[in-house]
Amino acid sequence: PSTSHNPDVIVVGGGIGGLSTAFALSRVGLRVRVLERAKEFGEVGAGIQIAPNCTRILDEYGLLDEAKSLGVLPENMVMRDALDARELTRLDLRDLERHYGFPYMVIHRSDLHGIFLRACRAAGVELLTDRTVVAYEHGDGGARILLQDGGAEEAPLVIAADGLHSVARRQLVGDDVVSSDYVAYRAAVPIDQVRDNGIAEKDVTVYVGPRCHFVQYALRGGDMFNQVAVFESPKALAGKEDWGTPDELDAAFAATCDTVRKGIPLMWRDRWWQMLDRDPIETWVHGRIALLGDAAHPPLQYMAQGAIMAIEDGWVLARHAARHTTDDGVDWDAALAAYEAVRVEHCRRVQTTARAWGELWHLDGEQRLRRNTVMRELDPYGYAFTDWVYGPTALSPDEEPAMFTPIPLASARIGEPDAAAAL
């Protein structure tokens, strides 16, 4: 029995991972307190892709209809060559929905974050802003966090959902982020501004090119158009501190096809995202402190599964908390062991596959042409390739489907620096 002064769980970080986890835990009857560093809850950035493994969870939470009303259900996911614009492969997203039972959706990040924020409020989650956690300590049958303002709080479980630059990760693991030397520019603009650019309004289109790629899809009921431009920064390769700056953007896309080049001037130039990830780690649970979301497994975004993995983490943890609840409360050690047993390996696969995808997308010269030939021969309805990602989230390692990637040569060497060279 807890009072509002003694939550069952403290969640550090109110991003998509922290809020969705707080909501999941409150649904199984736990008292949850979220501590967020920012003055207000919110998300920066533009669109986010939500695959069936996540819309399935939103549906279980009773949030899918709201998400659908704010997002867009695209018809196809189409991959094209960024230089000659030729189609390489596609997924028919209507058929994908029939196959998995849940849709592939795109939504504004702030809309998805807002859905979880409202759900947390309605569920009675304690939501506290302006709380910066500076250190973690193990406590008696729990864990403690120390706040910048000198305060301390304790709970049977502390979840660190504090993102890529996690304080908990630094303290408990101590590894560094890994730079890919790639940078992302984003923009979401009224769709009228791009109608003459040769866009496919109803599709998610990914143009893959030498050392760059470009993603496009409509948002907010089709009124807005989201674009992401990603490229390798020459300044990063030269070891400069200040890399990925706007002057590098135009040069990176100068040789691309019309539709891509027309999109570049619309990119936001006052903010960009250096593409960093971390090497996978095997231990996310330290006593009663658990890493979750980007704090545990920040990926390069090429599989569009980063936020989804965070949402899955919370769903899995809540399921195991419920399974390990007795009259004495939750057996957190058992629940956390079960969480770690299944999530570490799944997320490792996504992280390493995302790196390999990046190499494959960004090939040049002869390798690019060979990749294009392989991709054009793929069966667009071959779901064996997507089941391990888009299928139902596994609760235990034996539920996890076998892993395939559509490019056998790359999959054999996934995670190795020369994965793409195998082509």
Q: Which residues are catalytic?
A: 217
Binding of residue 350 to ligand FAD (CB under 6 A): no
Binding residue for ligand FAD, selected from 10, 11, 12, 410, defined by CB under 6 A: 12
Report d(CA 413, CA 352) in Å as an integer.
10
Residue range at the interface with ligand FAD (CB under 6 A); choices 30-38, 86-94, 232-240, 281-289: 30-38
Joined tokens for residue 142: 């729990």
Q: Is 244 exposed, middle or buried (0-12, 13-18, 19+ CB in 10 A)?
A: buried
Report d(CA 294, CA 302) in Å as an integer.
14
Binding of residue 348 to ligand FAD (CB under 6 A): no
Q: Closest approach of Cβ 180 to ligand FAD, in Å?
A: 11
Binding of residue 15 to ligand FAD (CB under 6 A): yes
Binding residue for ligand FAD, selected from 161, 318, 344, 363, defined by CB under 6 A: 161
Of 145 and 257, nearer to ligand FAD (C-beta) is 145
Phi, psi of 205 (to 5 degrees): -115, 130
Under 8 Å between Cβ of 405 and 412: no
Binding residue for ligand FAD, selected from 57, 158, 289, 307, defined by CB under 6 A: 307
Under 8 Å between Cβ of 159 and 236: no
Report d(CA 27, CA 69) in Å as an integer.
23
Binding residues for ligand FAD, rule CB under 6 A, total 33
SS (H, E, C) 300-344: CHHHCCHHHHHHHHHHHHHHHHHHCEECCEECHHHHHHHHHHHHH
Report d(CA 152, CA 33) in Å as an integer.
13
Applying the rule CB under 6 A, the residues between 38 and 57 that interact with ligand FAD are 38, 48-49
Binding of residue 294 to ligand FAD (CB under 6 A): yes
Beta strands in 210-277 (DSSP E): 212-219, 224-232, 273-277
Under 8 Å between Cβ of 386 and 372: no
What is the residue type of 99?
A: H
Q: Closest approach of Cβ 39 to ligand FAD, in Å?
A: 10
Applying the rule CB under 6 A, the residues between 308 and 327 that interact with ligand FAD are 308, 310
Binding of residue 72 to ligand FAD (CB under 6 A): no
Binding of residue 301 to ligand FAD (CB under 6 A): yes
Binding residue for ligand FAD, selected from 125, 127, 133, 219, defined by CB under 6 A: 133
Distance of CA 183 to the CA centre of its chain: 16
Binding of residue 13 to ligand FAD (CB under 6 A): yes
Reference 126, options 38, 32, 42; nearest CA is 32
**Per-residue string for binding with ligand FAD, 228-247, x by CB under 6 A?**
x-------------------
Binding of residue 261 to ligand FAD (CB under 6 A): no
Angle subtended at Cα 83 by Cα 233 and Cα 384, rounded to the nearest 5 degrees: 90
* Residues contacting residue 142 through CB under 8 Å, at least 6 positions apart: 154, 155, 156, 157, 158, 288
Q: Closest approach of Cβ 199 to ligand FAD, in Å?
A: 18
Of 16 and 423, nearer to ligand FAD (C-beta) is 16
Applying the rule CB under 6 A, the residues between 86 and 105 that interact with ligand FAD are none
Report d(CA 323, CA 185) in Å as an integer.
43
Let me know how many helices (H) and strands (E) the chain has, helices first: 14, 20
Binding of residue 14 to ligand FAD (CB under 6 A): yes
Residue range at the interface with ligand FAD (CB under 6 A); choices 191-199, 305-313, 342-350, 408-416: 305-313
Of 161 and 321, nearer to ligand FAD (C-beta) is 161
Residue range at the interface with ligand FAD (CB under 6 A); choices 8-16, 97-105, 348-356, 403-411: 8-16
Q: Closest approach of Cβ 254 to ligand FAD, in Å?
A: 21
Residue range at the interface with ligand FAD (CB under 6 A); choices 9-17, 72-80, 115-123, 364-372: 9-17
The residues of the shown chain that bind ligand FAD, judged by CB under 6 A, are 12-18, 35-38, 48-49, 131-133, 161-164, 167, 184, 228, 273, 293-294, 301, 304-308, 310
